[in-house]
C-alpha cells in the first residue's frame, strides 16, 4: 500500500490509502482528524496505523475495517511525532514539551503518560491519568522534535531544541543518559538495527542524532558516550537512516547532498548531490537502494553498491 496525505485545503485532514496498482487506485479514506496530519506510523503487523495531527490528537486506525479505534487527546499542543512499542504509543507535542505513553487497547482512563507542566518543559509520570491525580516530576526537556523506540522496545530516545538527546528506560522514571555534544538543535534520531534481539546481534546498538549544527553523531547507548562525529554536511541535517545490516549510515541535508558513511571506517564512501535540500532518506530492506525526497518536489531512488 501507498499512503498519501492530500495537500489541498479541503482534504488536508484526511488520510488516503492507495492500493499499489499501476493506476494507483484509491482504496480508502480515513477521516477523523480536524487539523493537518503531521506524522504516521504502521504497527509491526501492518494492520493498524497511528497518526498524529495538529488538531492536538493522535488516532489509532484499524486499516482493514477502515475505522478509528482510539483517539488520544490529553494535551493542549499539536502531536508532531508518533511511534509504536507493541501496544504502546509515544507522542510528542509542540510547545507542551512532553512525551505521552498510552495503551491504545484500553479505555483512556487506564492510559499512562509522561506529561508536562508548561512552560518549563518538565517530564512527569503518572499512571491512570484520569483517575489518579498523583504526578511525579522526573526530568526536564525542551521543545521535542523526535521520539523513537529502540529495536527491542525497552529504551526510548528523544531529541529536542534544547540541544540534547535523552535515552529513557521504562524501568525507571529518570532518563538513563543525557547526550549533550551537539552545538545546535537536534532534529532527528535513529536507532541502529543492531544489538541483542535484532538480525545483527553481534554488533553494538547505536543511536544516531542529526542536528542543525550540520553534524551527525553516533552514541554508545550503554555508556551514553559520543563515539563519532560524522562531518561533511554544510547545512542542517534533516534525516539519517541506517542500512539494514547496520554497516552504513545515510544523511540528508539542506546543503543539497546525501552522504553515506561507512561505520567501520568512519568516513564518507558515497555522496549524491541534487538541486534541492534533502528532507528524508530511507533504505530498502535489501540495502542496495536508497530513496530520498527533495525540496525541489522530486523523489529519487538511488542504487548503492560497494
Residue 96 is predicted with a pLDDT of 46
* Average pLDDT of span 9-25: 55
Rounded to whole angstroms, the Cα distance separating 85 from 76 reads 23
Please write the tens of the pLDDT for every residue from 148-158: 889 988 888 88
Peptide bond just before 119 cis, omega within 30 deg: yes
Domains 1-140 and 142-306 agree in fold: yes
Q: Is pLDDT of 133 > 80? A: no
Higher-confidence residue of 230 and 157: namely 230
Residue 237 is predicted with a pLDDT of 98
- CATH superfamily ID and name for 142-306: YVTN repeat-like/Quinoprotein amine dehydrogenase (2.130.10.10)
Looking at 55-69, 72-86, 138-152, 220-234, which range is the least confident one?
72-86
Residue 45 burial (C-beta neighbours within 10 Å; 0-12, 13-18, 19+): exposed
Looking at 83-97, 129-143, 201-215, which range is the least confident one?
129-143
* Cβ(218)–Cβ(208) below 8 Å: yes
Strand partners, 280: 293
* Average pLDDT of span 234-258: 97
Residue in this structure with the C-alpha cell 479514506, named with its chain if needed: 29
CATH code of the domain occupying 1-140: 2.130.10.10
Separation in Å, CA 35 to CA 150, 183, 276: 29, 33, 28
* Average pLDDT of span 264-275: 94
Higher-confidence residue of 97 and 166: namely 166
Neighbours of 286 (CB within 10 A): 10
Rounded to whole angstroms, the Cα distance separating 188 from 118 reads 23
Domain locations in the chain?
Answer: 1-140, 142-306
Rounded to whole angstroms, the Cα distance separating 168 from 172 reads 8
Looking at 133-137, 247-251, 282-286, which range is the least confident one?
133-137
* Average pLDDT of span 22-49: 79
Q: What is the pTM of this model?
A: 0.73
Residue 125 is predicted with a pLDDT of 36
Please write the tens of the pLDDT for every residue from 89-128: 455 544 445 566 555 555 443 333 333 334 434 333 333 3
* Average pLDDT of span 214-242: 97
Amino acid at each position: 500500500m501507498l499512503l498519501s496525505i492530500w495537500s489541498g485545503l479541503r482534504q488536508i485532514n484526511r488520510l488516503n490509502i492507495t492500493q499499489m496498482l499501476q493506476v494507483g487506485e484509491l482504496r480508502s479514506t480515513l477521516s477523523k482528524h480536524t487539523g493537518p496530519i503531521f506524522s504516521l506510523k504502521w504497527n509491526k503487523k501492518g494492520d493498524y496505523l497511528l497518526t498524529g495531527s495538529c488538531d492536538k490528537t493522535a488516532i489509532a486506525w484499524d486499516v482493514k475495517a477502515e475505522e478509528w479505534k482510539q483517539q488520544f487527546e490529553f494535551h493542549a499542543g499539536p502531536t508532531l511525532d508518533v511511534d509504536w512499542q507493541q501496544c504502546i504509543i509515544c507522542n510528542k507535542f509542540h510547545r507542551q514539551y512532553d512525551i505521552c505513553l498510552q495503551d491504545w487497547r484500553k479505555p483512556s482512563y487506564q492510559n499512562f503518560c509522561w506529561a508536562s507542566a508548561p512552560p518549563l518543559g518538565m517530564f512527569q509520570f503518572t499512571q491512570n491519568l484520569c483517575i489518579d491525580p498523583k504526578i511525579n516530576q522526573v526530568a526536564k526537556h525542551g521543545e521535542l522534535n523526535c521520539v523513537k523506540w529502540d529495536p527491542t522496545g525497552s529504551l526510548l530516545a528523544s531529541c529536542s531544541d534544547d540541544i540534547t538527546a535523552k535515552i529513557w528506560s521504562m524501568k525507571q522514571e529518570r532518563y538513563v543518559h543525557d547526550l549533550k555534544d551537539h552545538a545546535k538543535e537536534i532534529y532527528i534520531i535513529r536507532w541502529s538495527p543492531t544489538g541483542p534481539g535484532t538480525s545483527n546481534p553481534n554488533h553494538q546498538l547505536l543511536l544516531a542524532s542529526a542536528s542543525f549544527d550540520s553534524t551527525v553523531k553516533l552514541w554508545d547507548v550503554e555508556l551514553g558516550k559520543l563515539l563519532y562525529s560524522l562531518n561533511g554536511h554544510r547545512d542542517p541535517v534533516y534525516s539519517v537512516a541506517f542500512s539494514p545490516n547496520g554497516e552504513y549510515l545515510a544523511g540528508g541535508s539542506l546543503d543539497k547532498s546525501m552522504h553515506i558513511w561507512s561505520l567501520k571506517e568512519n568516513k564518507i564512501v558515497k555522496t549524491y548531490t541534487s538541486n534541492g535540500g534533502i528532507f528524508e532518506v530511507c533504505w530498502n530492506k535489501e540495502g542496495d537502494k536508497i530513496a530520498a525526497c527533495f525540496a525541489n518536489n522530486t523523489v529519487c531512488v538511488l542504487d548503492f553498491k560497494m
